[in-house]
Amino acid sequence: MDRVATVDTVRGLREAVASWRAAGKRVALVPTMGALHEGHLSLVDRARELADRVVVSIFVNPTQFAPNEDFSKYPRTLDEDCAKLAGRADLAYTPLLEEMYPAGFATTVSLAGPAAVGLEDAFRPTHFAGVATVVAKLLLQALPDVAVFGEKDYQQLKVVARMARDLDLTAEIVGAPTVREADGLALSSRNRYLSQEERALAPTLYRTLQDCAARLRAGEDAATVMAAGEAALATAGFAVDYLALRDAETLAPVSGLAAPARLLVAARLGVTRLIDNIAV
């Protein structure tokens, strides 16, 4: 079976990137936690359009999971991942825990501002500090020209873009559109946790976003639309964490469509927490 080349040390990664740079190549990084699906591969393809060499990092980052979350059962499929990346990426960076967090590790990126407040942060209060810290490390380890993130994790994309600007990290942060199943469900590694019945209900999340967006565009009052959307999700069997309208750029709360807006949702079906979002 063909497999992408791999390195698991910062030194190996830097050597590979340095040799490409010496040859005048542009380098892209696609950070992932593995269990790769077509959503991840679309980011790799986008990275390939933006650069000559593409590194995919695969690291299930413990610091972005709260103690009650699914770190230990998060899918780990490294062999299949490396096969999927063959011919598509140039290198997989697969650091072990000790490489990323050496003994005595004591530094965390701290976030503020509208992008990092509320939404996911209200339900996963330690999450973005863990994401920002590991992404800052990945960007400093690889020093790519560009890094590609999925719009599926829209708040993450905005938090990372803000952090990169604020810390003068040199990589350009690029967002790529959400890849969906035929029935509209956003691809996610966590979809595999859904039972058959839950999987049948799951596309309601995207349909509800579309319905709400259509009503907002037709000029209906945002609070009314949000309440109706939450009710529709609850009726379908979801436990809703949030359904919110935010400014598409800053993620500040908004009450209408004066500027480009984003509708974001997180809801649980049984033990599985799904997130999604669309432009309005």
Ligand X SMILES: Nc1ncnc2c1ncn2[C@@H]1O[C@H](COP(=O)(O)OP(=O)(O)OP(=O)(O)O)[C@@H](O)[C@H]1O
Residues of this chain that interact with ligand BAL (CB under 6 A) are 64, 153, 156
The stretch among 98-106, 111-119, 186-194, 219-227 that binds ligand X (CB under 6 A) is 186-194
Q: Which does 135 bind (CB under 5 to 8 A by kind): ligand PAF, ligand X, ligand BAL, none?
A: ligand PAF
Site string (32-71) toward ligand X, x via CB under 6 A: xx-----xx-xx----------------------------
| Size of interface with ligand X, in residues (CB under 6 A) | 18
Is 246 marked within a binding site?
no
Smallest distance, ligand BAL to C-beta of residue 202, A: 16
When asked if residue 119 is in the footprint of ligand PAF (CB under 6 A), the reply is: no
Q: Count Cβ neighbours within 10 Å for each residue of 150-185 and write b for 16 or more, e otherwise.
A: bbbbbbbbbbbbbbbeeeebebebbbbebbbeeeeb
Tokens 């501002």 — which residue?
113
CB 238 within 8 Å of CB 205 = yes
Sign of CA dihedral 109, 166, 137, 92: positive
Q: Which of 131, 120, 123, 119 is nearest to 163 (CA)?
A: 131
Length of the chain: 280
* Tokens matching residue 146: 């560009």
Quick check: 189 binds ligand X (CB under 6 A)? yes
**Scanning residues 28 to 47, which ones bind ligand PAF (CB under 6 A)?**
31-33
Which residue among 149, 161, 202, 244 contacts ligand X (CB under 6 A)? 149
- How far apart, in whole angstroms, are the C-alpha atoms of residue 159 and residue 148? 13
Other residues' Cβ atoms within 10 Å of the Cβ of residue 2: 8
* Binding annotation for ATP: 33-40, 150-153, 179, 187-190
Give catalytic residues, as residue numbers: 40
> Which residue ranges make up the site for ligand X (CB under 6 A)?
32-33, 39-40, 42-43, 149-150, 152-153, 176, 178-179, 186-190
